[in-house]
Amino acid sequence: MAEKKLVKVCGMTDGNNIRDVESLGADFIGFIFYPKSPRRVKTLPSYLPSSAKRVGVFVNVPAEEILVQDIRYHFDYIQLHGNESPEFCREVRNYGLKVIKAFSIADRSDIARVKDYSEVCDYFVFDTKTALVGGSGNTFDWSILEDYRENVPFLLSGGLSLQNIGQIKEFSHERLAGYDLNSRFEIEPGIKDISRLKLFIETINEQN
């Protein structure tokens, strides 16, 4: 039997919506602290996940800023979505936090640079390279990931939706751990469509 894939739902802001997403069986729930994101969490939600892992998403901020938010949110993972160095990832890890490092992928050269992070991260996220920082709703050429040979498991991101779930299920890689869902599953920025997420989670784990 194929191993169940993890599902991370990112960019959540509302307590009731978070509770509903967690009840679907989401494994990770992400909170974005990037000021330019329309999904930025501005106030502490009325509910924080108790079974799903809490992920704080940051872009090029000092470690102190991450630690301030960790006091409030009690993160399980920190996702670094900017130009953070391997040394910075190690520093965050040394605070007792697990690290997810996101990489924007456009061509095979983008895969080559992840090697330097293999000893200091727990997961990678491979997202579409755009002028924005994540959340573009666009896919990239997943065949590029054939060049990925590191041991760190990764989440596939960028334009995942019900419309391309067939291609998502067809894509395989020995280090593919799961999927990072965001903009294609929203009613509005920061509020997720529960029915669409439910269908995705049920479908992605069906046996072919």
24 contacts 60 by C-beta, under 8 angstroms? no
At which residue do the structure tokens 């991101």 appear? 157
The residues that bridge with 30 in the sheet, in sequence order, are 55
14 contacts 191 by C-beta, under 8 angstroms? yes
Which residue numbers are catalytic? 10, 127
Give the whole-angstrom CA distance, residue 166 versus residue 34: 31
Contacts of 82 (CB under 8 A, 6+ apart): 58, 59, 60, 61, 133
> Taking CA 119 as the corner, what is the angle to CA 70 and CA 109, rounded to the nearest 5 degrees?
105
105 contacts 144 by C-beta, under 8 angstroms? yes
Give the whole-angstrom CA distance, residue 194 versus residue 196: 6
Helix axes 86-94, 63-73, angle to 10 degrees: 40
Structure tokens at 47: 């509910």
Residues in the chain, overall count: 208
